[in-house]
Chain A
């Protein structure tokens, strides 16, 4: 089974803190993604990466950065957390192979910024 593991299920951080969300996958997938999930808005893509050290902005990259130093690990960084970044964050991975490949998701990290 493909496993995508997010380091924390729940996080509470203070406004202005630098926050790291970690994600590791064990199936040698090329693609990795960070989504943000908010009620009524579905999943919105923050960043994705198709290879080590490669990254592309998604639909809502403002206030976020990412790091992919190893193929299996993709980190999301909130440079200076704000209350409007309180949300559920989902990491996913997929093979690069083609359009018919599905994404595999982690359990999610529910972040609260106070």
Chain B
């Protein structure tokens, strides 16, 4: 079964600082990995996804993630945090169940951005 682990339930950064949100995966097959963002009182929306075409994936709002097979990681980064980046971030892996593909999520990391 595929799963993801997000390290750190909360990450706090200053505006303008580097954002690093950590995600490690466990998968017996090549994984398909996703990062989603959830702004307060909203549903989740896709930031980016890894589908084996390239190890460095660029997403929306200046975020990117790098797939590292040797480290089983898919960490999310942004060079310079904005106040508007404050949100909950979820890493997810696409797992299979009887022929269907089910997104399985990590526990989430809350990003706090200080002025």
* A residues in contact (CB < 8 Å) with B: 4, 31, 33, 35, 40-43, 45, 48, 50, 56, 58, 90, 92, 94, 96, 98-103, 105-108
A43: chain B residues at CB < 8 Å are 44, 90, 105, 108
Closest to B53 in A: A100
Check B102–A102 contact: CB distance below 8 A. Answer: no
Least distance between B88 CB and chain A CB atoms (Å): 9
B101: chain A residues at CB < 8 Å are 31, 94, 96, 98-99, 101
Least distance between A71 CB and chain B CB atoms (Å): 15
* B residues in contact (CB < 8 Å) with A: 6, 9, 32, 34, 36, 41-46, 49, 51, 90, 94, 96-108
Closest to A103 in B: B103
Closest to B104 in A: A45
A40-B107 CB under 8 A given contacts A48-B102, A100-B49: yes
Chain B interface main SS type: strand
A102-B107 CB under 8 A given contacts A40-B9, A56-B97, A96-B100: no
Complex CA gap A56/B102 in Å reads 11
A41-B102 CB under 8 A given contacts A4-B43, A56-B97, A90-B44: no
A42-B107 CB under 8 A given contacts A90-B43, A100-B49: yes
Least distance between A52 CB and chain B CB atoms (Å): 14
